[in-house]
Chain A
Amino acid sequence: MRVHAPPASPAHPQLPSRRATLRAAGAGALALGATGGLTACRSAVSVAAGEGGARRGGSLTVGIHVDFTPALLFTQSDQALQQRLIYNTLIRYDEKLRPQPELARSWQYADDGRSITLKLRDDVTFHDGRAFTADDVIFAVENLRKPERSAQLASTARAVTGFQKRGEHELVLKLAHPVANLFDLFEFMIITDRHTLDDALKGRRLNGTGPFRFDRWRPGTGVRLSRNDRYWIPDRPYLDSVELRVYSHPDALLSALRSGQAQLSYGVSGKHLAPLKAAPNFRIKRYDTGSGAAYVGASVGTKPSDDKSFRQAVAWAVDRERVVQQALGGYGLPSAAPWPRSSPAHTEADRIHYTHDPGKARALLKSSGVSTRTRVPLGHPSQPLHTAIAEIVQYDLEQAGIRTELQPHDSATFQKKLISGTMPALWVNLHGFAQVHPATLAVSAYPFNEAKNTSGFRSKAYTDAVRAAWQQRDADGPAAHARYQRVSDQLLEEAFIIDLAIQDQVEVAAARLRGATLNKFSYLSLDHAYLA
């Protein structure tokens, strides 16, 4: 707020009359009294709000840019906000990736790391009134193992080899080997009703234990939810209803927020945030834990990206700082490694392992003898963000002597090519899964999966490094960090995935909305949220 200096006194002030002075004094006294009264009233309201805190009731509209896809209910997709509104998970990570109880009250890892005992809440019911039991957890794990679910954490679910029930609310999970990212599975895996799964996959009926009941899904419009009066957290949630409304164009989403049609969104890109930054009725919150990371992928079975020197030259050629500033609108971290700062695998040395050095890139190309005469195809999804990153990469590579041709694809086609491993020599995309346990990235994300990845890269050293990091009990000591470093070293040396920048998750919320939070997989929690 700008503070104005008081105006200077006139050089020859005209003296007021006695009557005018008395009138002014009276008016001043009245004004002082009135102000005092108003101040008292305002204080009373503040105290009430301060004591009572949250207000019950109200409806919240969340602006989303991609519609809910029921078929992808068990996959990490672009739209996961509804997961924690309708369902619960077993645990909830805190900011430092320490698991906190949710449907699992407590847990006990066996000393050999080959089993874990979960004690479950016994006061939880599904929206249809059925009680939540250990059988629902068994079903959830078995469901994620199925290939048709396309769950990225399927390999972790498959490491669970058996179940032993001890009553209705205690369960032992037997493990094939110690699993470092087991709690990622517990954070990721929603507990669905096993009796209505088919309806859930068609978007007709989603029956969970979460704070909101599913009312309806209208394709292309969004999802409507209403308060679950039997929620296991007493007196929660505060909100009566929540609507996830689709605004597929960024400008429409921005207009919805500015006009008050929507009060919350995680889909506004850094570039679009400028008009909201100055608006006093909005709050922009930045999560630097990384919602995704921009990267250049390289197919190792295709020339010239089959040559490691070529891939490393690409890594040296791109100006990561420019990617953050010009494509992500400043909301990100330039990084040659995939890990956000919150990851236990993050090191500053890895982050700056490759910097912008076109000279070094040219020297590498020259020494390796890789031919750069033909244009190298550079695929990318046709969304504005991906196109901007691809244009920056193309220009930077050209400065280093690598000529490329952009090949845009619509999102669905691009995703198919990514999963089927039919990408061109180079491509630009975003990846997730670096925000949780480091092992999850290397066993669950398509581009990094040591067993089968989009680049077609396989090596014993990489597989050994990944398995060493994965097949251990979760730990945070020097030995664990050394294992993560082996994975990072492989990624940086082989450069089949060339990370450019970690993208921050940005929350845009109306100033009167309090208490909305996201989990590590971008599931929205409104348990304690209210409209002030």
Chain B
Amino acid sequence: MTSTVSSAPAVRRGTAARHPYLAALTTTRARIGLVLVGAVVLAGLLAPLLSSHAPTAQSGRALVPPGTGGHLLGTDDLGRDLLSRLLYGIRTDLEVIALAVPIGALLGCAFALLAAVHPVLDTVVQRAFDLVLAFPGLILALAVTAILGPGRLPVIVVITLAEIPVFGRQLRAGILVQRERDYAVAARVGGTRRARLLIRHILPNCADPLVVQLAVSLTVAVFLEGAMSFLGVGVRPPEPTLGNSLSQALPYLSQAPYFAAGPLLIVTLLVLGLSLLSEALNRETRR
């Protein structure tokens, strides 16, 4: 009873049985997504090697065009190297997102499992989810930063809070379906304890939509972090992020369009890559 029950056939299109996630990653869509996300992640990881300037080092040479004075992408309005700020901005964004989304997912799943234990708990947890979902992401962000002030921690808290009900609802829906399946009924009749049934048997069979949701949530988190930094309630200056770089670039769109081009391109690539990955996973797991 410990193996997962899959509705998918054992053999697909003549290929040997493969885990659907692996199969998804071999599709063209997923490969393009992986390349895009991988390139951005790699750029962030290798930031100290790829840039010769500190991201916060200022000079008197503001808004220098690309390729001038050792600044490959030019400088911002305070004379800081744009390439360096872009690469370190990717790092900051990835650190925040990579921490906040999994925490949100884990907490959401934990609450969903808790809700499955007893109908009263279910009601309490669902109403709590309703409460969080009632606030759009940015309103939630402004409310949290009104209490905690701007910074990295509030961004992580906001993304985590926003993701908890998303994963919680997703898993709860899966549990409601799975626990009526024959294998779950048989386990209950056989005397398997409720906790063991939920964690060892039902949870693994609900994982597919959660994996797809993880990729979608990473995309949403990129937007949310960007929006918070754009509004000035995100990561504190002078630390660069993609959002605050974009916000800073807005007044100069006509005179220095290269200022906004870098962060815009990176956000586009990251979102596109993650979307392609989630789409590929979704298609493969639903076969």
Contacts and interface: CB of A to CB of B under 8 A. Distances in A.
Given A274-B252, A275-B255, A326-B62, A391 B78 contact: yes
Nearest to A391: B238
Interface string B203-240: 00000000000000000000000000000110011100
Contact of B251 (A251, A322, A408): A251
B165 interface: no
A387 B232 contact: yes
B251 A388 contact: no
Contact of B236 (A274, A384, A406, A410): A406
B237 A272 contact: no
Contact of A406 (B60, B79, B237, B250): B237
B126 interface: no
Given A326-B62, A408-B150, A408-B237, A382 B232 contact: yes
Contacts of A406: 236-238
B58 A388 contact: no
A250 B251 CA distance: 8
A369 B150 CA distance: 33
A388 B58 CA distance: 12
Which size class do B's interface residues fall under? 20 to 34
The majority secondary structure among interface residues of chain A is helix
Which size class do A's interface residues fall under? 20 to 34
B60 A395 contact: no
A269 B248 CA distance: 13
A404 to B, nearest CB: 10
Contact of B60 (A322, A383, A387, A391): A322
A387 B233 CA distance: 12
A325 B77 CA distance: 9
A17 B252 CA distance: 58
B238 A326 contact: no
Contacts of A408: 149-150, 232, 236-237
Nearest to A392: B78
B77 A388 contact: yes
B238 A394 contact: yes
Interface string A401-416: 0000011111000000
B254 A275 contact: yes
Given A271-B77, A326-B78, A382-B150, A390 B252 contact: no
Interface-central residue, A269, A272, A395, by most chain B CB under 10 Å: A395
B170 interface: no
Interface of B: 56-58, 60, 62, 77-79, 146, 149-150, 232-233, 236-238, 247-248, 250-252, 254-255
29 contacts: A250-B251, A251-B250, A271-B77, A271-B251, A272-B251, A274-B251, A274-B254, A275-B255, A322-B58, A382-B232, A382-B233, A384-B232, A384-B247, A387-B232, A387-B237, A388-B77, A391-B78, A391-B237, A391-B238, A392-B78, A395-B56, A395-B58, A395-B78, A395-B238, A406-B236, A408-B149, A408-B236, A408-B237, A410-B146
